[in-house]
Amino acid sequence: MRFADLVDLFERISATTKRLEIRALLAEHLRGVSESDIAPMVYLLQGQLRPEYEGVELGLADSLARRAIAQATGTPEETVRARASRSGDLGTTAEELLRDRTPPPADRGLTLSDVYQELTSIARSSGEGSQEAKVERLSKLLGRATAVEAKYLTRFTLGKLRLGVKDMTLLDALAEVYGGGEPKQARPTIENAFNVTSDLGEVASTLARQGTLEALRSLRAQVGKPIRPMLGEREATLKDVLERMEGQAALEYKYDGLRLQAHVPRDETEPVLLFSRRLENVSSQFPEIVRDLPKALKVRPAIVEGECVPVDPTTGELRPFQEISRRRGRKYDLERFEEEVPVRFLLFDLLLEGEEQALMLPYPERRARLERDVKAGDRVGLATRAMVEDVPAAQRFFDQALADGCEGVMAKSLAPGSTYRAGARGFWWIKYKREYTHELADTIDTVVVGAFWGRGKRAGRYGALLVSVFDPKEETFPTLCKVGTGFDDSSLERFTNELRSKQVKDRPEEVVSTLTPDVWIDPSTVLELRGAELTLSPIHRAALGRVREGYGLALRFPRFTGRVRDDKSPEQATTTDEVVHLYETQVRRAESESSSEGSEIEKAASGAKNPHDTS
Ligand code: ATP
């Protein structure tokens, strides 16, 4: 495939914001792409070189890219800098500078494979002299590129391609191409393959190799590839939880820590890998789990999931979540922190057991096997659980969970269909947390999309942030509220500094807002908020029209809890569906509180065909 063809697709995608058009363009261009080209094509469309969990980055700073452009075009670096600061985009500057030059002959044009190999070499070069080598390679590549190709190459190397092609749109396009004329039916199969491998490039090349959906059967859970996590829904009362679960459920402690998916390879000489909830490889941050988990497991290879919680080493009691957050993202002093913040890994799921795809088994069987396969000890244990069939028993277990330092319980369905639903949020798992009187039953994870400058004491710093939730259908971030409470001065100062690098000139396309903040912020930081209630809002755009025509939902009296959810990507923030569900729960609660004793609690109004499924 010629790189020019891919760039033509980039151009056409950049010219529209309509998801359906993007999907049609993708389908048109994916059709007929060879097995070897399709994975690089998919990764580049995502602005990546490899699946996200591998964390491969080009590592080129603006200054290096400027040098490469200067070399490739024979322009003084100062001129490149000046023009870039005028255009606000180094990619556009590269394009303009190259346009003045005679274009390379068409027969010497770049192929996708040339470009992909070169970019991979740039990403790989490390150590002394590597920066120079990167500049050299990039400038040679730019020298062979046409002006418009150079624009995208530059943006890509800076990590600023930002075509707005979302995973879900790519999945739709693949369903269009390989779904045998029935894209709707094909879509879940393709999405499931993605959820299990977290690698769209692999899904696409598997499809291209055989041309049919059947091929995806070969994609299975495997050590080294993180599986997208299964997620739970919420209910407001234990009675609702039990009704959803048809009168019988397993309740597990809901620990407040970090979710980890641990991959234990068959070969004992190979290291254990730990992935976070957003599929980052965090193995180096928890060396004691890497070391001790294999000793506690009686089977390998294996993939298990659990919550990593801080514990008091003498009593074994749980410690507050905030302690473990001190270990997140740490690169140095790991040993000291291992000692200062001891952790325990409490397992709640089994996804691969030896050669068997345990994730296909119903929950009761997975849990039974987990109990069989784990030798519990100081470092590794099993999530505490009980089987319940009535509200008083559920209440007792819940009270015990709180007394033991948990934030609530996770109810797990015992139904035959309770397989591990990778990447899906549904009622197969229901979380029930402590009720906060006169407060929303749960916190909301929001994405910062803008900021307002502070006044008075807060002058020179942000005074409030504009935050959004995520709409997975539209792949947008509609606003939910402005929040300025719950930040102390030092945290506002920190946010101002940290978010400064994420400020952008115009409203990011995926942000839906009627308000214009003082600065727009590229959606990436997730903050946990608490609030009094959800209200209908003519201003905010979250779940627009879902409850009432022309109105969105807004969070009233929002307050930052002090918790930055850096374990969540923006797409993993609270969704518009969840906000609607929370709103309905709140309405139901208010109705049941005000109505006479013994009144029937309204059945949940989810409209889902299966009582469990909302995904
Ligand atoms: P929250 O914001 O409440 O942590 P979440 O959005 O991260 O929730 P949910 O599906 O809503 O994800 O809640 C499940 C989370 O609870 C899991 O991601 C996991 O980190 C945590 N957890 C703690 N104990 C358990 C358990 N026994 N089973 C499943 N998940 C558990």
Ligand 1 center to residue 442 CA distance, Å? 12
Q: What is the pLDDT of residue 332?
A: 77
Domain 444-590 homologous superfamily, CATH: Nucleic acid-binding proteins (2.40.50.140)
Identical fold for domains 231-433 and 444-590, yes or no, is no
Q: Mind listing the pLDDT tens digit for each residue in 259-318?
A: 999 999 999 999 999 999 999 999 999 999 999 999 999 999 999 999 999 998 777 788
CATH class of 231-433: alpha beta
Ligand 1 center to residue 421 CA distance, Å? 14
By most ligand atoms within 8 Å of CB, the mutation choice from 318, 351, 410, 413 for ligand 1 is 410
The mean predicted confidence, pLDDT, of the chain is: 89
Pick the more confident residue, 238 or 17: 238
Q: Read off the pLDDT of each residue in 512-518 and give the average, rounded to a whole number.
A: 95
Cβ count within 10 A of residue 38: 25
Cα torsion 414, 415, 420, 426 to 10°: value is -100
Using the 8-state DSSP alphabet, how is residue 281 labeled?
B
Q: Mind listing the pLDDT tens digit for each residue in 401-427?
A: 887 888 899 999 999 999 999 999 999
- Distance between the two ends of the chain, CA-based, in angstroms? 36
By alpha-carbon position, which residue is closest to atom 20 of ligand 1?
259
Q: What is the pLDDT of residue 200?
A: 97
Q: What is the pLDDT of residue 32?
A: 87
Ligand 1 center to residue 503 CA distance, Å? 31
Q: What is the 3-state secondary structure (H, E, C) of 229-244?
A: CCEEEECCCHHHHHHH
pLDDT range class, residue 495, cuts 50, 70, 90: confident
Every domain of the chain and the residues it spans? 231-433, 444-590
Q: What is the pLDDT of residue 523?
A: 96
Q: What is the pLDDT of residue 603?
A: 29
CA distance 202 to 199: 5
Kindly state the percentage of the chain with pLDDT values over 90.
69
Q: What is the pLDDT of residue 306?
A: 98
Burial (0-12, 13-18, 19+ Cβ within 10 Å), 423: middle
In the predicted structure, residue 70 carries a pLDDT above the cut 70 = yes
Ligand 1 center to residue 253 CA distance, Å? 10
Quick one: which atom of ligand 1 is closest to the CA of 259?
20
Q: Mind listing the pLDDT tens digit for each residue in 596-605?
A: 333 232 322 2
Distance set, CA 55 to CA 51, 111, 158 (Å): 8, 25, 15
Q: What is the pLDDT of residue 592?
A: 59
By alpha-carbon position, which residue is closest to atom 18 of ligand 1?
259
Give all strands of the β-sheet with 408-412 in edge-to-edge order.
231-234, 425-433, 408-412, 249-254, 385-388
| Beta strands in 354-476, from DSSP E residues, in sequence order | 380-382, 385-388, 408-412, 425-433, 444-453, 462-468
Handedness of CA 452, 454, 460, 461 (dihedral sign): negative
- β-pairing, 258-264 vs 273-275, is antiparallel
pLDDT range class, residue 337, cuts 50, 70, 90: confident
User: Ligand 1: does its nearest atom lie under 6 Å from the Cβ of 410?
Assistant: yes
Write down the catalytic residue from 254, 433, 482, 568.
254
User: Ligand 1: does its nearest atom lie under 6 Å from the Cβ of 348?
Assistant: yes
Ligand 1 center to residue 231 CA distance, Å? 7
CA distance 303 to 351: 5
512: left (phi over 0), alpha (psi -120 to 50) or beta: beta
Total-model pTM: 0.79
User: Ligand 1: does its nearest atom lie under 6 Å from the Cβ of 420?
Assistant: no
Beta bridge partners of 232: 426
C-beta of residue 551 within 8 angstroms of C-beta of residue 537: yes
By most ligand atoms within 8 Å of CB, the mutation choice from 230, 255, 346 for ligand 1 is 255
By most ligand atoms within 8 Å of CB, the mutation choice from 431, 572, 614 for ligand 1 is 431
CA distance 479 to 553: 9
Q: What is the pLDDT of residue 611?
A: 42
Closest CA to 411 of 391, 427, 435: 427
Closest CA to 328 of 372, 385, 284: 284
Q: Read off the pLDDT of each residue in 166-172 and give the average, rounded to a whole number.
A: 93
Q: Mind listing the pLDDT tens digit for each residue in 553-600?
A: 999 888 899 889 989 999 999 999 999 999 888 776 666 555 433 323
Active site residue 254: yes
Structure-token pair, residue 429? 């798992």
Closest CA to 198 of 279, 305, 261: 279
CA distance 201 to 51: 7
Closest CA to 536 of 557, 519, 551: 551
